[in-house]
Amino acid sequence: MFRIDFNKLRFLVCDDNAHMRRILRTLLHSFGAREVYEAEDGATALEMYGHYAPDIVITDWLMPIFDGLELTQMIRQPDGVGNPYAPIIMLTGHSEKRRVMVARDAGVTEFLAKPISAKGLYQRILNVVANPRPFIKTKNYFGPDRRRNTANTYIGVDRRVGGKAEVVTQPSLLDKARSPG
């Protein structure tokens, strides 16, 4: 088993609720993170994203100016500001299947329903660090592979159709964040 050295990772936390930002910052610091940048809206987060180049973005869905979904879509623009491949963990109190699918289709890497727990947050971070999903680029989508099951045996109505997909394998953040010993 390995340990993540959180002090080697930069986080951007975006939530319009100051109390929620404080909870997230406290949890990340308790995991060992040192660099935690905070934004109270999507516009500020996008500006900070370009400036601080965070390794992982944790964003709320509902916020002023533009929301977490719009922030995700802007980060995922290949010619946009910063790294379009950074893992994005979406937080929301609305965890209906439809919302999870909309977030996934916008390019969100992981989804975490509120109220959050330390264990839930840690598991999502561990997943994006240790098991980065390849990115898919088609004419209609750019983002992490939406498939959790990598077997190509699915033939149902949601089967990907249309042009060829370019697959871009992502380097693991584990190399950056692996703790010695």
Q: Output the pLDDT for position 126.
A: 93
Q: Output the pLDDT for position 154.
A: 55
Q: Output the pLDDT for position 95.
A: 81
Q: Within a domain: residue 39?
A: yes
Global pTM exceeds 0.85: yes
Residue range of the domain that includes 105? 6-177
Q: Within a domain: residue 33?
A: yes
**36-55: per-residue pLDDT in tens?**
999 999 999 999 999 999 99
**64-109: per-residue pLDDT in tens?**
889 999 999 999 987 878 899 999 999 998 888 898 889 989 999 9
Is residue 60 pLDDT above 90, yes or no? yes
Q: Within a domain: residue 85?
A: yes
CA atoms in the 13 A half-sphere facing the CB of 101:
4
Q: Within a domain: residue 133?
A: yes
Q: Within a domain: residue 21?
A: yes
Residue 133 · residue 109 · CB < 8 Å? yes
- Count of domains in the chain? 1
**137-171: per-residue pLDDT in tens?**
888 888 888 776 555 555 655 555 555 677 777 66
Residue 106 · residue 76 · CB < 8 Å? yes
Residue 19: which CATH number? 3.40.50.2300
Q: Within a domain: residue 1?
A: no
Q: Within a domain: residue 160?
A: yes
Q: Within a domain: residue 98?
A: yes
